[in-house]
Amino acid sequence: MKEIVAIIGRPNVGKSSLFNLLAQKQLAIVHDMPGVTRDRNYTTSEWYGVEYLLIDTGGIDYTEEKEIFKEMMMQATLAIEEATRIIFILDGKTGPTASDQELITYFRKTVPDKPVFYAVNKIDSSQKEDIILSDFYSIGLETIYPISVQQRRGIDDLMDDLFKGVETKNYEEDEKQSDIYEAKVAVIGRPNVGKSSFINKLLGTDRLIVHDESGTTRDSIDTEVTYFGQKYLFIDTAGIRRKAKIKYSLERYMVVKAFISVDRADVVIFVTDASEMLTDQDKKLLSLVTEKGKPVLIVVNKWDLIEKDSKTHKKYLEDLNYELREIKDPQVLFTSAKTGQRVFKVFEEIQKLREQMGFRVTTSELNRFMLEVINGHPHPSAGGRMVKFKYISQVATNPPTFMITVNHPDLVQTSYTRFLINHLRKRYPFGSVPIKVFFRGTHKDIDYN
């Protein structure tokens, strides 16, 4: 992922509403009370072929008490440092304020090399648009985008200009390996589950700092490992904590860094402690990784510390499968970084995931498959209209991606998309890797996965 977009501005100008609109899901809390978003919210999104990481920041208010303001400013500054493009939201109802002017001056000085797109929100009609915008031009802004997030007015112009000249995603290019590594592997998980110890065991050296105190790894660390002549790049990321336990700006910064590391990876290893079951934060993290289209290997570390009987292994897998309903039959490896038990088996598991991600089905075979599946279980009619499936092809690997042409792509049900994905997984050796399905009509493509 090349593009990172940060949304900044005063409280209650519509930042979180724009974030939810672009993310196409309700992720940020939206409320009329200013200052609801104190932390950064982030998700991956796509704008007509351009994939990007979207960051929502807490509103910056110079009238806040000193300590709270410093924290809010720190969060916004960190987001801007990470960003490649910035959307600065202003309020069309209140007009430009002294706080707006101070913020604009501050960010022009601190990040002069970042492209900033100024959008005036809450302009619900064109009648007073010129009068409202003239006030904002008077404070020195040159290009302004009049928008209404609530009515989705002006969003297309803003986003089209935001990504003008940015190269769109090329699925075929994704398949080409441009470096020397067999695979790039991000190692993620909560603090103190043994991520660094795991990589050190692979290396046979203590290159990465290992300590009982959680949160030792402050940033992503790249480590090259050679195994039987094949080179792998392991990216050790900072431990991701539950939000309530994140106290310092640095640790919040670590979380975003970890997600960016996942974007760089071909395979993600999620390390968990055998003595602890998955938390809600773990499940959210794994869900985000699969949304990004990354294959996941779950490494259950510290397995040597567990008292076992003949049913322990089976019971743990059953519980894991129940907790991770979004990942079908996840690949799981039980290890001990301390003793080295099954640690080197990770390379075999990585290779399996790479083969599953790279598997390709011929178009003729896919269309025979689709005819068989749809005849056996037709899509239900919607409002008296029938959904007719005309053609399917695999347009990419890594992850396996399929384009299906239908007469009414807007009527395809999400449950039916899952039904098709499950049958693709049963028929072909895709294992547990993410599968993406797009539906194309006569005018535009719609992603329902």
What is the band of 424 on the pLDDT scale with cuts at 50, 70, 90? very high
pTM of the model: 0.60
Q: Mean per-residue pLDDT for 59-65?
A: 63
Which H, E and C letters describe the chain, residue by residue?
A: CCEEEEEEECCCCCHHHHHHHHHCCCCCCCCCCCCCCCCCEEEEEEECCEEEEEEECCCCCCCCCHHHHHHHHHHHHHHHHHCCEEEEEEECCCCCCHHHHHHHHHHHHHCCCCCEEEEEECCCCCCCHHHHHHHHHCCCCCCEEECECCCCECHHHHHHHHCCCCCCCCHHHHCCCCCCCCEEEEEECCCCCCHHHHHHHHHCCCCCCCCCCCCCCCCCEEEEEEECCEEEEEEECCCCCCHHHCCCHHHHHHHHHHHHHHHHCCEEEEEEECCCCCCHHHHHHHHHHHHCCCCEEEEEECHHHCCCCCCHHHHHHHHHHHHCCCCCCCEEEECECCCCECHHHHHHHHHHHHHHHHCCCCHHHHHHHHHHHHHHCCCCCECCECCCEEEEEEEECCCCEEEEEECCHHHCCHHHHHHHHHHHHHHCCCCCCCCEEEEECCCCEEECC
pLDDT at residue number 67: 61
Beta strands 3-9 and 85-91, pairing class: parallel
Task: Report how far apart, in Å, the C-alpha atoms of 368 and of each of 91, 208, 372, 391 are.
Answer: 55, 51, 6, 10
The CA distance from 307 to 276, in Å, is 13
Domain boundaries, the chain: 3-162, 173-357, 363-447
Question: Does 32 have pLDDT greater than 50?
Answer: no
The residue whose two tokens read 């007015």 is: 153
According to CATH, the topology of domain 3-162 is Rossmann fold (3.40.50)
pLDDT at residue number 248: 43
Bigger pLDDT: 316 vs 120: 120
User: Using one digit for the tens of pLDDT, what is the confidence trace for 301-335?
Assistant: 899 888 888 888 899 888 888 888 778 788 999 99
The superfamily CATH assigns to domain 363-447 is K homology (KH) domain (3.30.300.20)
Question: Does 34 have pLDDT greater than 50?
Answer: no
Task: Identify any residues that bridge with 87 across adjacent strands, giving them in sequence order.
Answer: 7, 117
Check if the beta carbon of residue 407 is closer than 8 Å to that of residue 377.
no
CATH 3.40.50.300 fits 173-357, yes or no: yes
Question: Does 73 have pLDDT greater than 50?
Answer: yes
Asked if domains 173-357 and 363-447 share a fold, the reply is no
Q: Mean per-residue pLDDT for 366-370?
A: 95
Q: Mean per-residue pLDDT for 347-374?
A: 95
From the list 91, 34, 33, 80, the residue with the least C-alpha distance to 56 is: 80
Average per-residue pLDDT for the chain? 80
What is the band of 11 on the pLDDT scale with cuts at 50, 70, 90? confident
What is the band of 33 on the pLDDT scale with cuts at 50, 70, 90? very low
User: Using one digit for the tens of pLDDT, what is the confidence trace for 149-181?
Assistant: 999 999 999 999 999 988 765 544 444 444 588
Bigger pLDDT: 177 vs 274: 274
Q: Mean per-residue pLDDT for 264-291?
A: 85
Where is average pLDDT lowest: 88-102, 238-252, 343-357, 374-388? 238-252
pLDDT at residue number 447: 41
**Six token digits for residue 75:** 């969060």
Q: Mean per-residue pLDDT for 332-356?
A: 92
What is the band of 24 on the pLDDT scale with cuts at 50, 70, 90? confident
